[in-house]
Amino acid sequence: MADQLSVKCNKFNKKARNGEDQSSGHYDDFAVVEANDEECAVERVNRLTKTVTQFQEHLRERVSYYLGYPANHNCEHYLALSTLLQFNINNVGDAFKESDHGLHSKKFEVGVLDWFARLWGIQKDEYWGYVTNGGTEGNLHGILLGRELLPNGILYTSKESHYSLFKIARMYRMDCETIASLATGEMDWTTFKGAMDDLDLVVQTLTDCGFSDNQFYIHCDAAISGFVVPFLKQVPKFTFKKPIGSVSISGHKFLGCPMPCDVLITRKRYIDMLSTSIEYIATVDTTISGSRNGHSPIFLWYVLNIKGRKGLEQDVEKCLVNARYLRGRLKKAGISSMLNEMSITVVFERPPDREFIHQWQLQCLGNMAHVVIMPHVTVEMLDRFLCDLVRKRNIWHGIRQPRCVAEDIGICNCVCSVHA
């Protein structure tokens, strides 16, 4: 069935595989066409419906090969909320302040924020937050608070941090110091390899260097790990019981919210620095963006109620088991690979085939590629991937040995001719 769908949807993915620019005129099939007298309204709707239906088939086929990016595609339960799409819902302004804009979902938003506040150990009257339009906005807001508290501060971040951190430093014109990382991806004393920096060690290092709590600000970008760590035993937690300033976690990744979003939580006492009253919307401006998606808080509220802590814990355990399964199969096949403890990201040698990378939608960095085990990833899906990888790897390398990746993932994880 997947092969049939790939033929039907050829116009959607053929040019993307060839690396053609969507803005260069190759996507004329999807140009906006003005209505004309020769086409009646019914014919026009049928034409558009056909295109959308074909695109839906294309998406369904691509989901079956979705391994390299951190997004959960078990999204069927969200269909129950589809009737809400007939409303333009806008959560403009502060999540905790009403406005004259009546079509908002702030009650749902506060319910979501309260749940995350409990998850991260901060009292209801001590936190502030909002549902952002994506992970970068969550990082933008967290680092902005740190800069306002410490105007002359320096941004320190791991060299393997999410690319948005370095972009934010440029936007805010902040001095940024990059900290080297270990082969595991942790700070040498974190996104691509699925590593989690040791928060306790970071705090201890700052303390040993003579910094008091009011002389540093820690923003935790917990985009994926924020849904894994809280459900693990004997693992250091991200919590406001420690001297952190803010935490952000993506809602479209592990939870699979159909629209990009992020939850940002900080300490309530910090937000007054950014608070501005806006008369014509009759609310307070405390967020990075003005207008905010009012649908995403409802979707987050819905899935948190459907899953609950128990359901999320089961999802985490399933992902950890499947990550260990993939790592074990790669090792057995003689493929250099790495899996950090309690991580759902499996790193392995980069395939030298652009077509293969595109087919399985792998993320690549230097000599490495990775698979992120999300709840939609099944053992059957991993078996198809492994079979395809092993078969094509024999063609790629022939009698030649694959490249050494010891510097990327550590000598103990490299199975090249030197380190095997």
Residues acting as catalytic residues: 343
Per-residue tokens: 132 = 């952002």
Phi, psi angles (nearest 5°) of residue 28: -65, -25
Sign (positive or negative) of CA dihedral 76, 81, 82, 85: negative
Residues 320 and 254: beta-carbon distance below 8 Å: no
C-alpha–C-alpha distance, residues 230 and 240, integer Å: 13
- Listed in order, strand segments (DSSP E) in 366-405 are 368-372
C-alpha–C-alpha distance, residues 235 and 320, integer Å: 14
Residues 138 and 150: beta-carbon distance below 8 Å: no
C-alpha–C-alpha distance, residues 219 and 146, integer Å: 8
C-alpha–C-alpha distance, residues 68 and 52, integer Å: 25
C-alpha–C-alpha distance, residues 291 and 29, integer Å: 32
Residues 103 and 88: beta-carbon distance below 8 Å: yes
Residues 55 and 30: beta-carbon distance below 8 Å: no
Per-residue tokens: 49 = 């419906």
Residues 191 and 220: beta-carbon distance below 8 Å: no
Per-residue tokens: 257 = 């919210």
The Cα-based distances of 305 to 226, 250, 300, 382 in angstroms read 18, 17, 9, 29
Residues 54 and 8: beta-carbon distance below 8 Å: yes
